[in-house]
Homo-oligomer: A and B are copies of this chain.
Amino acid sequence: MDMSLNLIIEALLFASDKPLTILDIQSALPEEDSTRISEAIKELQEEYDSMARSFLLKEVAGGYQFRTQSQYAPYILQMLKTSPARLSRAALETLAIVAYKQPVLRQEIERLRGVDVGGILRTLLEKGVLRIVGRKNLPGRPLLYGTTKKFLEVFDLKNLQSLPKLKEIKELGTEEDQGTAVIEEGQGNETGDEQTAVDTEKSTEEGPSDPSEN
């Protein structure tokens, strides 16, 4: 396998979201001494400088990081602007309450969340996932909130009825070990091969490292 030190360091820098110091790199490559690592980084830098790609290996904040060259910034900004926006926890909770309790008063949302939600409601109205559906027949005729068609689109729902009920999710339960352990006696039977081959992949679901974070 062709893995030079340079390429290993390149891979590390590529997969990191912050600048890496020599020390950071060394922690993944304990046998390498720091001068060899800094030499490798220098070589990588020169290589990228001469390749004239859209990004360079820059020294920043005491570490090293791949950065796109500044002339590409306008395109990247444009892409970021249209890329999917995340919702804050507060916004998500507010949206969830409206989805399940609609038509609902702001007062009711605030009772459930325990905080003022005026600003968040405005943001969600602007994003087009909530709308005002009417007024309640109460003193002051307060506004009632509900979800929009765009809400259905965002969550890929055919209609509000297909919104899963809380109960249905709770019914799924949690995943305790659903396998069953069996002790097998007998000496080294080879037929277990297939079994063990697959078993090596087995591990718990709730490791810290799931890739699934959206």
Contact = CB atoms under 8 A, between A and B. Distances in A.
Q: How many copies does the complex hold?
A: 2
Interface string A130-152: 01111100000101000001101
Given A7-B53, A53-B7, A150 B212 contact: yes
Query: Which one of A2, A18, A118, A208 has the greatest number of beta carbons of chain B within 10 Å?
Result: A118
A96 interface: no
Contacts of A116: 178
A80 interface: yes
Given A156-B131, A161-B135, A119 B79 contact: no
Contact of A79 (B15, B159, B194, B214): B15
B121 A172 contact: yes
B83 A207 contact: yes
Interface residues of A, number: 117
A43 B83 CA distance: 25
Contacts of A125: 169, 172
A150 B214 CA distance: 9
A129 B211 CA distance: 10
Contacts of A150: 212, 214
Interface string A166-204: 001101111110110001111111111111001101111
A123 interface: yes
5 contacts: A8-B54, A11-B54, A11-B68, A16-B80, A161-B184
Interface of A: 1-3, 7-8, 10-12, 14-16, 18, 20, 24-25, 27-29, 52-55, 66, 68-69, 71-72, 75-76, 78-80, 82-92, 106, 115-123, 125-129, 131-135, 141, 143, 149-150, 152-154, 156-162, 164, 168-169, 171-176, 178-179, 183-195, 198-199, 201-214
Given A3-B72, A83-B209, 16 more contacts: A7-B54, A8-B75, A11-B69, A14-B66, A15-B76, A24-B82, A84-B209, A85-B211, A86-B203, A86-B209, A106-B172, A118-B171, A149-B191, A154-B194, A154-B211, A159-B184
